[in-house]
Amino acid sequence: MIITIVGGGSTFTPGIVTSIALRQKELGVTEVRLYDIDGERQSKVGVVVDWILKDMKSPIKLTVTTDKKEAYTDAKFIFAQMRVGKYAMREQDEKISLRHGVVGQETCGCGGMAYGLRTIFPMIEMIDDVEKYAAKDHWILNYSNPAAIVAIACQKLRPNARIINICDMPIAIIEMIGKCVGIKDYTNIDVDYFGLNHFGWFTRMEYEGRDVAAEIRAYAKEHGILLPKEHIEALKKHEATGDRHANQSWIKVWTNAARLMELCPEYIPNTYLTYYLFPKENVEHSDPNHTRANEVMETREKALFEGVDRYLATGEIDKKVFYAGAHGNFIADLAVALLGDEKKKFIIIEPNNGKVPNLPDDTMIELPAWITKNGPELIGIEPISTFYKGMIEQQNACEHLLVEGAIEGSYTKVLQAFALNKTVPSIEVAKEVLDEMIEANKAYWPELK
């Protein structure tokens, strides 16, 4: 059984392969293939992955390739995590946005739309290649961001593709909240959730009869932040916590999430909502010359590639660098669930089709679903109230317009998408940002007329 990782040159790849290797017997996996169009970068990541598999004494065969036929032939699972334009373009997305006084973020606002326009057609190409070469009963499990925009494009252009779009942010939030209230086995926290990707709300959290949502509201009121006490103490001492969601650029996010719970106490928000509901405050807090992209390049990216170079030169290993991250647990667990028939619950992104009765059927909704060997079965909820419905409809319209603009090559529709986004104050600002981004993305975006 073969698993192919698309975007094999990502610094998240070692963590994903570690998660696969830990589940080798459950998955029955015999081979992992890394596939990337950047062969030089991937070859270095491949050194790390090869070392990890040997260190774990895993029987899994490793193949590293830049050839799509070799990558996909007979593959059962395709884990997609492509980053078109890499961190250099993420940096441009964030800094162009901030220069115009709007949120500069990887997946939200103008930065997210820029990233989406780069990713839509490479994703469609990947789906077609997988259909051509992979096992007939394959599943594409897509981590590629921005997941909401990618999911809409896939549904419009390849509605019959065997793809499940996912995001590990809800489970990362559950894990962080669990730590806040002393729960270590966070995967056993049962939740209800609804929204769009990076744009949703937890309506219920329970653990062994405990109302975790009530506990976290009290915690947020006391501490003013949704980070656990040990993280707060470490940050006071300017120490790293070892958690990528607790780096410096995330501190304001977790603080704003606590404030958002105070202002809208009904539900627990996905942290990304703070970019939409506190856009002015986020811009004021941001450094337009040093964004999250720079942080990542200076930390995780730098540490991994310097670790590879040191290993190749001296044979010395820094296990903390090579084994960094649990990013792969969610996607690997989903693959396990698809192979079994135990009806495990995961939060995924699928067409609404009436599951939220007062939202359009073509909304790519993020909801809990039962996962079986036949695929996902979304769990429906009651109609949502006006505030949440209005927020979702505006964001959904923005994302659908962007995808339509990309498909049609329509400058007007893309401009309308930028103008409709809640992080953008006016259509004039939207035009300024869009025009500068068109210049920066000439090598990646479809032509807009």
Residue 118 annotated as binding site: no
Q: Is there a catalytic annotation at residue 272?
A: yes
Which of 227, 218, 228 is closest to 265 using CA atoms? 218
Q: Name the catalytic one among 72, 272, 275, 388.
A: 272
- Residue 23 annotated as part of some ligand binding site: no
Quote the tokens at residue 318. Answer: 């820094």
- What lies within 8 Å, CB to CB, of 381 at 6+ separation is 192, 194, 203, 355, 356, 367
For residue 101, count CB atoms less than 10 angstroms from its CB and return exposed for 0-12, middle for 13-18, buried for 19 or more.
Answer: middle
Q: Distance between CA 251 and CA 254 in Å, rounded?
A: 5
d(CA 194, CA 367): 5
Annotation-wise, does 292 bind a ligand?
Answer: yes
Q: Enter the tokens of residue 247.
A: 């780096």
| 167 in a labelled binding site | yes
145 assigned ligand-binding residue: yes
Q: Verify whether residue 168 is a known catalytic residue.
A: yes
Q: Given 36, 93, 168, 192, which residue is catalytic?
A: 168
Cα gap 211→191, rounded to integer Å: 10
CA distance 36 to 20: 19
Q: Do residues 140 and 81 touch, judged by C-beta distance below 8 A? A: no
Identify which of 49, 3, 51 has the alpha carbon closest to the alpha carbon of residue 23. Answer: 3
Q: What residue numbers does the annotated binding site cover?
A: 90, 145, 167, 198, 292
Active-site residues, by number, are 168, 272
Q: What residue numbers does the annotated binding site for substrate cover?
A: 90, 145, 292
